[in-house]
Structure 1
Amino acid sequence: MNRSFLAAVALTAAITPLAASAASTSTVPPALAAKAKISLAQARRLALATVRGTIAGEELEREAGGLRYTFDITTPRGQHEVGVDAITARIIENVVEKPATEKVERK
């Protein structure tokens, strides 16, 4: 094989993960991020250790009196929602989303 072909393959392999992460949506308000005890990167690692897949969306929000990161993770079996407590780093939610639920959440 020629060198330019191998270089193109290597470049594609290097860029593909970046393109996948750029496609995700992120909503992390700086004011809330300042109150979190764990970083977004730490919460991502915990969520992906719980459910292997690709993060399609992420947000930091106040919910039920607490502060939590929520990740939508795409897997071959469907869409999962994983919640990580932004103070304790505990997994507080791990559910498979149903198509009807996703439509309601998008509105």
Structure 2
Amino acid sequence: MTATSLNAFAFTGQNLAGHAKVTIEQARTIALKAYPGKLTNEELEQEKGGSGLRYSFDINHGKVTHEVGVDAKTGA
């Protein structure tokens, strides 16, 4: 599954998207710049720290999977 094919599916936490200033597409781009690879999972979740709302992506690169978080309000 590629990043473009993930657009067709709802991501976990979509009900929180109205509180985000950064879109899922923008967050996906930020995450893939940090760790290029194949997106295997994405979600929007409330978490302690930062703005309290973040996108979380699992990105496979070879045999390694990285979890990359992007603040949903600041893009950090």
TM-score for both structures, normalised by structure 2? 0.82
Q: Counterpart of 1:33 in 2: which secondary structure?
A: helix
Counterpart position of 2:14: 29
Bigger Cα Rg: 1
Measure the CA separation in 2 of the matches of 1:40 and 1:64: 20
Is residue 5 of structure 2 the alignment partner of residue 51 of structure 1?
no
SS in 1 for 2:11: strand
Distance 2:26 2:66 in 1: 18
TM, length-normalised to structure 1 = 0.59
1:25 Cα deviation (Å)? 8.0
Partner of 1:11: none
Residue correspondence of structure 1 range 5-16 to structure 2 within 5 A: none
- How many matched pairs? 70
Give the CA deviation at 1:29: 2.1
RMSD, matched Cα: 2.0
Q: Which residue, out of 19, 39, 44, partners 2:23?
A: 39
Gaps of 5+ in 2: none
Is contact 1:25–1:56 with CA below 8 Å preserved after alignment?
A: no
Question: Which of the residues 67, 73, 76 maps onto 1:81?
Answer: 67
Q: After the TM superposition, list the runs of 4 or more consecutive aligned residues in structure 1 that deviate by more than 3 angstroms.
A: 21-25
